[in-house]
Structure 1
Amino acid sequence: MKVFFRLVKIYLASVFNFKNFKAQIQKRKKKGGQTVTRNSKAKILGMAVLFLVVFAEFLFIFGFFIFGLYGTAQAVNNISILFEVTAVIISFMSLLFGFMLTVSTYYIGEIEEQFLSMPIKPRTLFASKFCANSINSLITSFAFFAVLMGIYGYMESPPLIFYLWALICSLAIPLPMISACYFVNILIMRFSKVFKNKNVVMAINGILGMALALGFNYIIQSAAGSDPEALYKIVESNAVIFQNYGLYYPPIKLVGHILSEPASITSFLYLVVLIALCGALPALVIGLMSKLYTESLIGFNEKSVKKLEAKQVSAFLHKNIKSSSPFMAYLKREFKMMNRTPVYLLNGPFSIIFMPTLIIVISIAKGTNLNNVPPHVLDFMQGNAGFVITGLAAGFLGSMTNIADTALSRDAKFIPFIKSLPIDIAAYMYAKLAHAMIFAVFAIVIGVGFAGFVFKFGLLHIVLSALVALCFSALVNLVSLFLDTAHPKLHWDNPVAAMKQNTNVVFIMFFNMIILAISAVVVFFTMNSYLWVILIYFCGIPAAVFAVLIKPYGIYAEKKIESIEL
């Protein structure tokens, strides 16, 4: 058991990344030739506030949904529907998030190979990872059930045993879903070589995450557009289905029986059956598939290298090795580094496609017809304020690719090598800015093109919108590069952390929002001004600030990178 708990601790550290989180909240200062680290109270407070805001937002949305569902369940005189629907939601989320988590942590690196070489039983190894990966779903399930307990407890004042039964249900419901995720993943990884590649796995994981976000938004926006009477009719018309689906997935129906009459003897018996069913699936998967799991780890992430024959070398060099300017070489390197790690592309630049798609999904869910915009909206958007708003929105999209604000962080592992080469550091960093701006231009084309199509812009309006967007995104990307150069994330275990666990991304997001808020105020007071006045505010000033900062940035970057020691 000691080995099991130590393995769980290792896997938990990998899943929740405690080491990198600790590094994120620390300050590093040089004192007497040595680097001294200490916890930053400001960073701890900021992280805590951010976590609480995001977590509270999800719970608020769920609580609002549960409160409406409670009233509907009371109206149809079937309170068990409230608990069954909650169990369905938790099961669905456990399946989706569980699949993403089990895929992304299926192989966590060379340490897995070290475990295989140790005298650790396959069952112990797999059980410890199963336990560690279940914690996330269990915490989520408990949080959502806590909202349910709070609302139902306030409205109905149930006996105390209700809360104990609800707690047990919240811990039992996710387990079959995690078991199903591992059952599928083990079979795929064991008998298919295509998926035994970390980049392929992370790409699939990112696509699934985006699909989940789009689907979740569609459901929330559709529900938000429905009146209580419509929701009542939907639940009432599907009450028969809720009565019958327990035959296909018994745990859902059992939760309804347990929590609707918690003080009865039958409730206790149903609880025993629920625990037995939800515990049996993990036991079967761990007991029967542990050996398959350990076998699937062998050779994970191996790469086949084709050896060139002597006569092929000349053709390869002629085709792939070509001289170019140092700046173009640096720029090509940026694209190759991003393409080699798909998680960078999916979590950053892909947002310029994802965010417009999200707007379209929300519009469809709300029943909005983008081809039939009200005349007064068209008149407003075709005025001076319209091209500024469009430009700011497109510029915001172009500055949210997370390229500039993670540029140096993503290169942290290569900084010692870069410093050893006779390269121009300023040009090297300017190439990173150019990389960000290429994607920004792509975002501007999408953003301005989309707005131009919806609001029927003329050519001049499109050009002015693009000009505002270009000036805005150029300035924000330069500020982002400044920030990541000043405070790069130098210590990370995998490429995901350099982007997804980088506080610079959060700061730039807030900076963008502040700039947009200030710009909105300026738009309000200048919308009736002359065109040249508006252009000075939204093109001239950002362009001037950019021109003033661009040269000092190169000098600062050279000094900063020279001072970095790893």
Structure 2
Amino acid sequence: MNKAWKLMRIMVKMQLSMANKSTTEKVGYLLIGLMMIPFGLLVLFFIQGLIGSMYAALEPLGNESVILGLLFVMMTFFYCFISIGTVLSSFYFAEDVESFISLPFEPYQILFGKSAVPFLSLYGLNSILLLPSLIFYGIHSSSGMLYYLFAVLIWALTPIIPFVLTAIILMFIMRFANISKNKDRTKVLVGLMGFIFAIGINVLLRLDAGTGNSDISQMFTQQNALLELITKFFPTAYFSSIALTEIGSWTGLLYFLTFICLSVAAIVLYLTVGQRFYFKGVLGLSGGRRKTFKEEKMQKQLKPQSVFVSLWKKEMRIILRTPTFFTQIVVQSLFFPLFFIVLIIMDPNGPLTGWGSQLNEMEGKKVILSMFGLTVVALGINPASFSSISRDGKSWFNHLYLPIPASNIILSKLLVSFFINFLSLLLLSVAALFVLKVPLMIWLVWFIISLITGWIASMAGLMIDFYSPKLNWTDEREVFKGRFIGIVPLALEATVFGVIILILWTSGLHGIWSTSAVLTGILIILTVLIQYFLTMMVKRKYYNIL
């Protein structure tokens, strides 16, 4: 294991070192860290209030363990979902994968080292959500030092089993899939697993929630009965919850030791499976399929078209054919609206089902501003916008030698970003019109305002990437990972649009038409201003990007 630990330290330094970062990037990280402080305090305040209210309601019934059960189930879901992308990127799609094969290392040692960075990303999420939640639960339950000792150990071990199970499943898929003949296509399909997993888990849990109201009321009177229902598909969440709620008893100690043994067994199984299957999946990546070039067939596909259309198609094909770009841009952008639709369809009697018919009874100003706020959240983070320039990498400089105006190239990238936002709006429109039954006129006003908002969000993201692009990447993941660039446009948009919503909300406007007219006018003015600054930036920086 000594070699494995050394290899892990080397890989962590290679990916997380600040040695080659510019002063601008270091300052950017510092500013982002400072910006996250108030956001983190807001998250802590929300978690504390939520756990406090749930504990006050469930403790008299003896079902306070449900709080921990829900917490561990949620975290297990997050671990599996995040691990799909990080495992595929680090284990198989990184440029340095095959270079390690020729080195004198065993497969399990390379796998151990490769697991470091994906596992650190899980611990980042672990520290933001799970750790403060366990602390707040201990405070509300007036637990002693033994609880906090168990909680820290469980906190450290909780990501292991979800990560191991996800990685083993992916290793089997990559081992037996015919990836040598369909390399890029397989990467895209496997990358979609995260999206399908998130939707599938939601559907599975809702299908299983067919228990009658009378049965649920009986579970509230039986200790741990409700916990067993919630953690039915996640046994480790049940073990962890019992271990922390029955501190000092033999039952709690038994479940705690069982959880530790399962975690150790998972690590052993992970390294054993990796020793046997990891190299076989990696070696399959280097294969390819020879295609016969036929000039007659190629000539039939060649059609004259404008330069602008060609640029737009080129950008879209790069996104759709590059696995990392496809999963990070298309899948991530469409996840929220699709998940929202599935959530409503699978819960036809939920609180959102009759929401559309109630809009006519609400004050018009509140309706349009609330829907506008939803649009800002849905379109705020658009990876297609803040990767517009960086996606080209070192090939960006080819644009400088082509007889194509800079405005055409920038506009084509801008329209690609806007097109992704447009797809999200179409999906949300389907949910609004056919599921929520939103009145047609209200939808039309919202849709027009959302189109303008999507264009502003696209320009804002492009300008930020234009200001500090990442062109010297060797792996497509570097365009998105470690830059935190997606937070910057979201923070700016939340600040600007939040101020606009606050001003209009407290203004003397009341009707939907007057509010919409003022809001549309403000957005048009913002669009003109941002377009002007973008044009000035293109003139100054287009031929001087380093």
> Do they fold alike, i.e. is TM over 0.5?
yes
CA drift of 1:380 comes to 5.3
Query: Structure 2: any 5+ residue segments left out of the alignment?
Result: none
* Structure 2 equivalent of residue 340 of structure 1: 321
CA drift of 1:407 comes to 1.2
Are 2:403 and 1:422 equivalent residues in the alignment? yes
Q: Distance in 2 between matches of 1:183 and 1:467?
A: 47
1:456 is aligned, of 433, 439, 449, to 439
Distance 1:95 1:63, change over 3 A: farther
* Structure 2 equivalent of residue 35 of structure 1: none
* Structure 2 equivalent of residue 170 of structure 1: 155
1:477 is aligned, of 451, 454, 458, to 458
* Structure 1 equivalent of residue 542 of structure 2: 561
Contact 2:231/2:237 (<8 A) preserved: yes
Q: Distance in 2 between matches of 1:539 and 1:244?
A: 48
1:156 is aligned, of 142, 160, 163, to 142
* Structure 2 equivalent of residue 306 of structure 1: 291
1:39 is aligned, of 26, 30, 34, to 26
Whichever residue aligns with residue 9 of structure 1, its letter is R
Q: Distance in 2 between matches of 1:524 and 1:65?
A: 28
* Structure 1 equivalent of residue 9 of structure 2: 9
Q: Distance in 1 between matches of 2:407 and 2:243?
A: 66
Q: How does 1:125-140 map to 2 (within 5 A)?
A: 125-130=110-115, 133-137=118-122, 140=125
Distance 1:179 1:346, change over 3 A: closer
CA drift of 1:329 comes to 1.7
Q: Distance in 1 between matches of 2:261 and 2:374?
A: 53
CA drift of 1:367 comes to 1.8
* Structure 2 equivalent of residue 511 of structure 1: 492
Q: Distance in 1 between matches of 2:522 and 2:540?
A: 28
CA drift of 1:470 comes to 3.9
Contact 2:81/2:197 (<8 A) preserved: no
Q: Select between 164-173 and 441-450 the one with higher mean Cα deviation.
A: 441-450
* Structure 2 equivalent of residue 181 of structure 1: 166
Contact 1:63/1:147 (<8 A) preserved: yes
CA drift of 1:177 comes to 3.5
CA drift of 1:87 comes to 5.3
Q: Distance in 2 between matches of 1:242 and 1:329?
A: 57
CA drift of 1:354 comes to 3.7
Contact 1:349/1:439 (<8 A) preserved: yes
Q: Distance in 2 between matches of 1:542 and 1:247?
A: 48
Distance 1:203 1:513, change over 3 A: farther
CA drift of 1:333 comes to 1.2
CA offsets, 1:446-470, max 9 Å, x none? Answer: 5567656634234xx6665554444
Q: Distance in 1 between matches of 2:369 and 2:233?
A: 55
| Number of matched pairs | 534
CA drift of 1:174 comes to 3.7
Query: Alignment partner of 1:323: what SS?
Result: coil
* Structure 2 equivalent of residue 378 of structure 1: 360
Contact 2:55/2:140 (<8 A) preserved: no
CA drift of 1:119 comes to 1.2
Contact 2:91/2:111 (<8 A) preserved: no
Query: Alignment partner of 1:111: what SS?
Result: coil
* Structure 2 equivalent of residue 18 of structure 1: 16
Whichever residue aligns with residue 282 of structure 2, its letter is L
Q: Distance in 2 between matches of 1:82 and 1:545?
A: 45
Identical columns (%): 16
Q: Distance in 1 between matches of 2:505 and 2:232?
A: 60
CA drift of 1:235 comes to 4.4
Contact 1:405/1:483 (<8 A) preserved: yes
RMSD: 4.8
CA offsets, 1:427-447, max 9 Å, x none? Answer: 211222233344455555555
Whichever residue aligns with residue 53 of structure 1, its letter is F
* Structure 2 equivalent of residue 33 of structure 1: none
Q: Distance in 1 between matches of 2:257 and 2:447?
A: 64
Contact 1:398/1:439 (<8 A) preserved: no
Q: Select between 121-130 and 394-403 the one with higher mean Cα deviation.
A: 394-403
Distance 1:194 1:76, change over 3 A: farther
* Structure 2 equivalent of residue 408 of structure 1: 389
Contact 2:70/2:230 (<8 A) preserved: no
Q: Distance in 2 between matches of 1:355 and 1:283?
A: 36
* Structure 2 equivalent of residue 368 of structure 1: 351
* Structure 1 equivalent of residue 130 of structure 2: 144
CA drift of 1:44 comes to 0.6
Are 2:306 and 1:315 equivalent residues in the alignment? no
Whichever residue aligns with residue 351 of structure 2, its letter is T
Whichever residue aligns with residue 505 of structure 1, its letter is G
Whichever residue aligns with residue 294 of structure 1, its letter is F
Distance 1:211 1:250, change over 3 A: closer
Larger Rg: 1
Whichever residue aligns with residue 26 of structure 2, its letter is N
CA offsets, 1:398-453, max 9 Å, x none? Answer: 67544333311222332122223333222211222233344455555555676566
* Structure 2 equivalent of residue 489 of structure 1: 470
CA drift of 1:184 comes to 2.2
* Structure 2 equivalent of residue 32 of structure 1: none
Whichever residue aligns with residue 393 of structure 2, its letter is A
Q: Distance in 2 between matches of 1:255 and 1:303?
A: 46
Distance 1:328 1:263, change over 3 A: closer
Distance 1:366 1:129, change over 3 A: farther
Distance 1:333 1:2, change over 3 A: same
